[in-house]
Structure 1
Amino acid sequence: SHYYPYLEITSGENPRYKVVRKINLTSPNEYYGPFPDGSKAHEILQLLERLFPLAKLVAKSYYENIKKEVRKFFQGQTQEIKKKIKNSLRKNITNLAFEIAQKEKKILDNIDFFTSKQNIEFLKGENCDFLGIHQQENVLAFYLLIYRYGKLVATDEAAFPIWGNQEEVCETYLYQFYQKNLPPQTLYISEKLPSLELLAEEFKFFLKSPQRGRKKEVINLAQQNAQQDVVAGFLVFINGEINLAKSKLYKLKESEQASDLSRIKTACRIHYQKYSPGTLPDLIIVDGGKEQMKVVQKTLNELELKTVVIGLAKDEKHRTAKIITNKPKELDFGKNERIKNFLTNCQEE
C-alpha cells in the first residue's frame, strides 16, 4: 500500500486548498479522496478554487459555508452551482464574451466529469471499501476497491508471503493501508475475521460481510481482481533465516505476463534497479532451471550489477535435486544434507 493523493482544506486564518499525500487524522483540516493520481487531484483543486474561492482572514461563517459547499460537490449535489454557471454562460454568449463563456463551459464539463463518473446508486453516497482476498500457494493477494461519496475513486493491490495465518496477514495489510489513508465508513469483506473487529474499532469503521445483493457482487469483483495478477517474490535470507521485513512481493500487470521468462525479467528489473554496485546479496537463488537463471544474470548485467546466481533443478518427484550454474554439468549435493535442506526450504518458500 502507498500514500494516495488527497485534497486538503486547511483551517486557521489563511485557509487554502492543497494536494497532499500524507494525512493527519487528528488535525482540524478536512480531507477528500483518495484520488487515483496526482494530476486528477490537482485538476479538482483548480476547479474548487474557481467554484469556491478561499480568502485570507475570512469570517468563520464564510469558511464553514465553503466547506459545506465542497462536501455537497463531492456528494454530487451540484445542481445550484451548475445553474448559476449556465445562467452566466448564456449572458456572456449574449454579450459576445466568448472567451469567458468558453471557460465556463469547461468548468461545467469538469463538474460533470468529477461528480457523475462511476457513481454507484446503491451506495447512496457512502464512503466504503470492498476487499478481495486470494491465496496463491504461499502468497496472499489483496485487491481493494475504494469508493468515496458513492464513486469508485481508486484501487489498491498488494501481496504478502504467508508467515502466519491468513487473518494475521490480512490485518497487517489493512493496518498498513489505513495508517496512510483515510479509513471508510464501512469495509465490506467476504467473511468477517475476528481480529479485524479490533482493527475496525481502532480506525472507527464498520465491518460488514453481505451474503447477497449488489454489495456482494462488488466483493466478488474485488475477489476476481485479486486472482488476476501474477506475483513475483524475492525472499531474503540472512544467515540462513528468512527475513520477511526485507522480502518483497510484486504484482505484475497483465501486459507483463506474456511468458515465465518475461515475468522474471520484469520482476528482476523492478526489484534490482534500486540497487547500486556492491549492494547486492552474496547469492541469488532462482527457483527455476538454466533459462530462468540466465534471464536473471542478463538482467543484472544490463543493470551493471554483479553477484553469484544459481538455479535449482527438481527430480521426477518434484524434489530439489541439483544446483544449476553456468557450467554445463549440474552439481549434486553429495552428502551435504545441510545445504540440501536449506535450498529445499528456499524453494518451498
Structure 2
Amino acid sequence: MNEKIKNKLSQLPEKPGTYQMLDVTGKIIYVGKAKNLKRRVSSYFVGAHDEKTTRLVRDIDDLTFIITTTEKEAFLLELAQIKKNLPKYNIKLMSDSTYPYIEVTNERHPIIRTTRDVVGKKGNIFGPYPNAFYANETVKLLDTIFPFRKCSKFPKKVCLYYHIKQCLGPCEFEVSEDTYKDLIKRVRSFLSGNTKEFIDEYEEKMNMYSQRLEFEKAQECKDLIIAIKKTTEQQQVIFNDNLDRDIVNFVTYDNYVSINILFMRNGKLLFSKSKIFTYYGIVEEVLLTYLAQFYEQNPLPKELLLPHGYNYELFDEVLGNIIITPQRGRKVKLLEMALENASSHLNNNLSAFLNKEKKTIGALTELENILDIDSIKRIDIFDNSHTSGQNLVSAMVVFTNGLPDKNEYRKYKIKTTTQADDYQMMKEVVYRRYLAVLMDDLPKPDLIIVDGGLIQLRAAKQVLNELNFDIPVIGLKKNDRHKTEAIITKAEMEIVLDKHTNLYSLLYKMQEEVHRFAISFQRNVSNKTIYGSILDTIPKVGKVTKTKLLKKYKTLENIKNASREELKELKISEEAIDNIYLALKQTT
C-alpha cells in the first residue's frame, strides 16, 4: 500500500457513497458502493484475500470517493459510473443482452411484429423468446391464424392476404376497434398456451377438406396443427397464478461467475439463458450490478426469485419490491433448477469462454504492446462514405473489451464540405465527436482508429491537437484488394499485420464493422436524397410536408401506395395530395 492510498484511507468517512479504484495511469479500474465507505474500502487493504481480489488490489495505485446521502443513491451512482467509465474489473453488459418479443402494435389497424425495444412500453407485448428465429416463426404462425394487416403501408385495394382470409382488408373496408380488441384477446390466449380451441378448429376443417377430397387444403390444416402444437409443447405449466417471473441463480469458480435466468410467463416456463463473466470483488455486489444493468434493457417481471442468504433490501427498493427469496416449496425447486443450469453452463462452457477471452485479451495486449498503451478497454473507430462525391456521411462504431458495443454506435451527416474530401470529412467527424465528449462528459476511448491511411490519420491528429484531447490514434490501411493490411501509428510508422494473429482478426473485424455501418447509413441517406429531390418539385409540398412523408413512408413507392385517408392524417391538404399522386404516377 503506497502513501497516497494510506492518506485516502484516513480521510474516508463512515458514510454511504461510491469509491473508485485507479491504476498508475489514473484510469478508473473498479467502482464500488458502500453503506460505510471507511469500513468497506479499508477491507481491501487488510487481511488475506482470494486470488481475484488480490489481483484487483495489486493494480490499485490511488482511490477517490463520493459521499451520498443514502445507500440507494450510492447504488444508482455506482451504476452510472460503471456505464460511463467501463472499469476493467466491473461487469458491463453489452447490447446483446436484450431478447426478442412479439408486439401487437398500438395503432388503429395493428400489425404483429417482433421487437427488442420494449422497456417502458405498455400494451400488447408477449415474450421474451429465446432467439429471433423462434420469435419470427411464431409471428408467421400468428399472421396465418389471425387476420391482422400485413402491409406496412396501406395499398389502395385489398391484396392476396384478404382473399385467403389472412387480413380483414382495412385498406378498403371498415374494421371496428372491437374487432381488433377481440383479435388481440385471442392472440393473448393463444400465446398463454390456450391452443385447444384452435387445434380443434383446424382438425374439424382438415376432416372436412379430406371428405371433399381437397387434400391440399387438408394438408395446410395439418401443418398448422403441427405448428401450433410445436409452439406450446415446450411450455411447462408450473403455477396456475399466471404471473410473470424471472428466476435467477449463480455459481462461481475462481474469479468466474455463471448466472442463469429462467423466464416464466403466465405461470409457464419458457426458456433459460446463462452467461459467464469474469468478476472481482464481492459476488453479491456483482449479481446486483448485473441484474440492475439487465433490467435497464429488459422489462421487469412481477416476481424476481433470488437465492436465500444474501441482502437484497437495497436492490428490492430500487426495483420496486418484487424480489422473493423462498426457503421451501416449489419456488425453491425453481431456484435449484436455475442453480443446476448455471453450474452446467460453467462446466460445459468455461474452457471455450477462457479460450475466447484469451484470444481477445491476447489481441488487445498485443495492441497495447505495439502502441505502448497501458490499457485498452474502449476503442472508437471512424469511417467515411459517399456516393460518387454525393451524400457525404461518417460513422463511428465502438468496441468494448474487444466486442462491438452497438448502443454506442453513432452516425454523422457531413456539413462542412460538399465534396468527397476525406481529410475534411474526417476532421469534421472527429471534431464533432470529441467536442461532444469534452462538453457533455461522455465516455473517453482508450484508442481511436480511423479507417484509412495518412490522410485520415493526419486529419484526426490535427483535430485532437486543437482540442487538446490526448488520446492515442492510429490508422488502419487496406491493401489493393481492400483487405486490412497495416497499422499506421501516430508517429506515421507503418506496421504490417500478420494475418495469422489474433490481433489481425480483431482489427479486421473492427474495420469491416465500421465499413458496414457507414455504408448502411450512406445508402439510407442517398435514398432519402433521391426521394426528397422529387418531392421538392411537387407544388404545395413544402419542407415540413416532405419531412413528414419521408419519416413515415421511407420510399416513394410507399408514399404512392398510401391511401388518401392516411395522407390526411399527416395534415396534408387535398390539393397537395392530388399533386403527390399525379407526380408519383409519372415518376415511379
Give me the TM-score of the superposition, normalised by structure 1: 0.65
Contact 1:129 1:145 in 2 (8 A): yes
Query: 1 CA distance for matches of 2:140 and 2:370?
Result: 45
Matched, 1:20 2:137: no
The residue that corresponds to 1:144 in the other structure is 261
Query: 2 CA distance for matches of 1:304 and 1:131?
Result: 33
Query: 2 CA distance for matches of 1:59 and 1:276?
Result: 64
Per the alignment, do residues 161 and 278 of structure 1 end up closer, same or farther by CA in structure 2, a change over 3 Å counting?
closer
SS in 2 for 1:54: coil
Q: Partner amino acid for 1:207?
A: I
The residue that corresponds to 1:39 in the other structure is 133
SS in 2 for 1:303: helix
Per the alignment, do residues 78 and 133 of structure 1 end up closer, same or farther by CA in structure 2, a change over 3 Å counting?
same
Matched, 1:49 2:128: no
The residue that corresponds to 2:342 in the other structure is 226
Q: Partner amino acid for 1:120?
A: V
The residue that corresponds to 2:100 in the other structure is 5
Pairs within 5 Å for 1:101-120: 101-120=218-237
Query: 2 CA distance for matches of 1:183 and 1:156?
Result: 16
The residue that corresponds to 2:505 in the other structure is 303
Contact 1:128 1:185 in 2 (8 A): yes
The residue that corresponds to 2:331 in the other structure is 215
1:296-325 CA distance string (max 9 Å, x none): xx85367387xxxxxxxxxxxxxxxxxxxx
Per the alignment, do residues 18 and 268 of structure 1 end up closer, same or farther by CA in structure 2, a change over 3 Å counting?
same
SS in 2 for 1:198: helix
Matched, 1:77 2:221: no
Per the alignment, do residues 115 and 181 of structure 1 end up closer, same or farther by CA in structure 2, a change over 3 Å counting?
same
Per the alignment, do residues 121 and 222 of structure 1 end up closer, same or farther by CA in structure 2, a change over 3 Å counting?
closer
Q: CA deviation at 1:174?
A: 1.1
Contact 2:247 2:338 in 1 (8 A): yes
Per the alignment, do residues 276 and 18 of structure 1 end up closer, same or farther by CA in structure 2, a change over 3 Å counting?
farther
**Structure 1: 5+ residue runs without aligned partners?**
231-252, 286-297, 306-349
Per the alignment, do residues 280 and 199 of structure 1 end up closer, same or farther by CA in structure 2, a change over 3 Å counting?
farther
Query: 1 CA distance for matches of 2:267 and 2:364?
Result: 39
The residue that corresponds to 1:200 in the other structure is 319
1:74-131 CA distance string (max 9 Å, x none): 2211222222211111111111111111111111111112123231333553321111
Per the alignment, do residues 224 and 13 of structure 1 end up closer, same or farther by CA in structure 2, a change over 3 Å counting?
same
Instruction: Give the number of the structure whose residues are more often helix, by fraction.
Output: 2
Query: 2 CA distance for matches of 1:84 and 1:276?
Result: 64
SS in 2 for 1:69: helix
Q: Partner amino acid for 1:49?
A: D
Q: Partner amino acid for 2:357?
A: A
Per the alignment, do residues 41 and 144 of structure 1 end up closer, same or farther by CA in structure 2, a change over 3 Å counting?
same
1:152-207 CA distance string (max 9 Å, x none): 32323334555554343222211221222222121111126212211330xxx622
Instruction: Give the number of the structure whose residues are more often strand, by fraction.
Output: 1
Number of equivalenced pairs: 265
The residue that corresponds to 2:574 in the other structure is none
Q: Bigger radius of gyration, 1 or 2?
A: 2
Moved more, 215-224 or 40-49: 215-224
Q: CA deviation at 1:213?
A: 2.1
Matched, 1:267 2:357: yes
Contact 2:276 2:350 in 1 (8 A): no
The residue that corresponds to 2:295 in the other structure is 178
**Structure 2: 5+ residue runs without aligned partners?**
1-92, 150-169, 376-499, 508-588
Matched, 1:86 2:86: no
Q: CA deviation at 1:24?
A: 3.9
Give me the TM-score of the superposition, normalised by structure 2: 0.40
Alignment RMSD: 3.4
Moved more, 173-182 or 270-279: 270-279
Query: 2 CA distance for matches of 1:228 and 1:7?
Result: 30
1:195-244 CA distance string (max 9 Å, x none): 2211330xxx62212212222112012123323444xxxxxxxxxxxxxx
Contact 1:131 1:142 in 2 (8 A): yes
SS in 2 for 1:122: coil
Identical columns (%): 26
Query: 2 CA distance for matches of 1:226 and 1:136?
Result: 11
SS in 1 for 2:218: helix
Contact 2:363 2:506 in 1 (8 A): no
Match of 1:66 among 173, 183, 203: 183
